[in-house]
Structures are given as structure tokens and as C-alpha cells.
Amino acid sequence: SKKMSVLDLLHKKRKNQRISMVTAYDYPSALHVDLAGIDIVLCGDSVAMVELGYDTTQPVDMEQMLHHCKAVARGTKRSLIVGDMPFGSYEVSEELAMTNAFRFIKEGFTDAVKIEGGRDRAHIVEKIVKNGIAVMGHVGLTPQAISVLGGFRAQGRTAVKARGLVDDALALQEAGAFAVVVECVPAPVAQAITEALEIPTIGIGAGPHTCGQVLVFHDMLGMTTHPHHEAFVPRFCKRYAQLGNVIREGLESFKQDVEAGTFPSEAYSPYKMPAAELRAFQ
């Protein structure tokens, strides 16, 4: 099937078809997301937390994001590839934002970029779109701003704040964004944003009324589930698999086989010498 485009997403929204998005950070995860027929693969800056072990998304830089985006691109044929612009790569000037957005396309092989923020960032979105790069917005909980927000917590829980989020999303649409992620807000707020916009909304922890849903690969697949290690997975995240258990069982079986001397068995010892050579050798 053919490559997804930003136009295909808009058509899906207009036809009332829901949009699926999942993160990926490397070749195998991208391969699985793509083969599953997920519409959008996001090389998210959540890579900082779920792949690199940091407590926040703040530490990742352009070089790290591009390294991961390249691998994702090599595993993706059909899904639209969106690259998360990292903290510090777009805020201080439109020129810096442009330089870094071009790097995502030319070096990271993404189809689009995502930046966090609402009205304050609309001028940056506009600049990038005018220069030919599709931009996905991101409102509500914007994890790069954790220093200001004080934690990973729900946003838009007062009438004034909720109206502010609708205005943020409208400003991003006005600036030319092709879609907006809405993260960690009460369902009625995400619904109001969705009803106010022509472009699709993609929710995470934002209830069922958005045009699409996104989850983090490692969280949704239970990658870090382990009986002796309590991994944090957000409350809104449904776990569709317990990959951590599968991985642990595989590793423990290997260890047992090695210690018992039962691996490799004959079936896994494929390299033979011709009989005559073996006699001459021994």
C-alpha cells in the first residue's frame, strides 16, 4: 500500500475514520509499527525516557534525534514519519528552528516535524510550513516544559485554562499545522479542541473524542514489565502486550541452556567439515 501523506490524514478525518499513531525509535520498532498499518510513526523525544533512561525528555539533542529518525526511516515504508524537534532546537529563533527542521528532512528522512506549544509557538510553525515542511502541533501537557509545569500532570482543568488550550490549537491550525497532538487533558477539553478545528487532533490521555490516538511504543507493549522492577507507565496507557515478560523468559531460558550445556544442540551446530578434512585435522 502507498505512503501516507498529510492529505490522506485530512481525508480520513473528513470521512470520520480514526487515525492511529505510535512512537518508534529504531529499525525494528519502526518495522513493526509500519507493518501493523499504523498511520503515523512518531520518532518522539520520549526516546530520552523509554530508550535512554532519562527522567525527562529535556536532555536529547538534535544529533541524538537524527540518529534515531534515520533508523526509523529505514524501517518505514507506508506510515507518515514525524520527528520530534527536541527541547532547545526551535524556541529561540525562527532561523534556528528552520535550520533544525531542514535537518530532520535532509538528514533524518522524516516526512514532517512536531513542536510543542500553542500561541507562543505559532509563528515558528508558520515559518517552518511556509518553508515547505509539514508541522504537527502539540498542546496540553508539553513535557519539554516540565520545569515550568512542575511535573507530568493533566492540563486545562479550569475553564480559563481549557479555553486557552482551544485558542492554542486554533493558532496552530491558523499557522498551517497539519494536525495537533492533545496530551493529558480532560476529555471534554479535547472534544472542544477537536470540534473547533478542521485539522485532525491526535489524543494521548485526552479521552475518546479526538480524531486519532497516540501511545508510546514501550508503554503500550509493556516493554519494561518485570516482576522485580516497577516501571512507570502512565495511567491512561492501555497495555496491549507484556513484552517485558516475553523478553525476560527468553533471556532466562538462554541462561539455563548455557549453564546446563544444552545450547547449542546439534540443530544449532550447522557448520561441518568434510569427513576427510576432519580426520586429517584430528
Q: How near is the Cβ of 139 to ligand KIV at its closest, in Å?
A: 11
One-letter amino acid for residue 153 of the chain: R
Quick one: 126 or 183, whose CB is closer to ligand KIV? 183
Nearest residue (CB) to Na ion, 44 versus 212: 44
Residue 84 binds Na ion, judged by CB under 5 A: yes
As measured in angstroms, the least distance from the Cβ of 15 to Na ion is 28
Task: For residue 202, list its beta bridge partners.
Answer: 181, 212
How far, rounded to the nearest angstrom, does the alpha carbon of residue 185 sit from its chain's CA centroid? 19
The answer to whether residue 137 forms part of the interface with Na ion (CB under 5 A) is no
- Asked if 114 and 40 touch (Cβ cutoff 8 Å), the reply is no
Binding positions for ligand KIV, 44-103, rule CB under 6 A: 44-46, 84
Query: Could you say which of ligand KIV, Na ion, none residue 181 binds, taking C-beta under 5 to 8 angstroms by partner kind?
Result: ligand KIV
Closer residue to ligand KIV, CB minimum distance, 189 or 272: 189
The answer to the question of residue 110 lying near ligand KIV (CB under 6 A) is no
User: Which of these ranges, 41-49, 160-168, 225-233, 248-256, lies near ligand KIV under the rule CB under 6 A?
Assistant: 41-49
Q: Is the dihedral of CA 91, 92, 94, 95 positive or negative?
A: negative
Query: Does the footprint of Na ion cover residue 39 (CB under 5 A)?
Result: no
Q: Pick the catalytic residue from 183, 249, 252, 259.
A: 183
CA distance 186 to 22: 21
The single residue among 6, 22, 25, 44 that binds Na ion, judged by CB under 5 A, is 44
Of these, 9, 23, 110, 172, which contacts ligand KIV (CB under 6 A)?
A: 23
Least separation, in Å, of the C-beta of 136 and ligand KIV?
9
Considering the rule CB under 6 A, would residue 181 count as an interface residue with ligand KIV?
yes
277 noted as active-site residue: no
Query: Could you say whether residue 86 binds Na ion (CB under 5 A)?
Result: no
Q: Check binding of 115 to ligand KIV (CB under 6 A).
A: no
Smaller CB distance to ligand KIV: residue 120 or 249?
A: 120
Among positions 214, 220, 221, 233, the unique one binding ligand KIV when judged by CB under 6 A: 214
DSSP string, the chain: -PPP-HHHHHHHHHTT--EEEEE--SHHHHHHHHHTT-SEEEE-TTHHHHTT--SSSTT--HHHHHHHHHHHHHH-SSSEEEEEPPTTSSSS-HHHHHHHHHHHHHTT--SEEE--BSGGGHHHHHHHHHTT-EEEEEEES-GGGHHHH-SS-----SHHHHHHHHHHHHHHHHTT-SEEEEES--HHHHHHHHHH-SSPEEEESS-S-SSEEEE-HHHHTTTT-BTTB-----TT------HHHHHHHHHHHHHHHHHHT-SS-GGG------HHHHHHH-
Residues of this chain that interact with Na ion (CB under 5 A) are 44-45, 84
Q: Which residues belong to the active site?
A: 183
Residues of this chain that interact with ligand KIV (CB under 6 A) are 23, 42, 44-46, 84, 181, 204, 214, 216
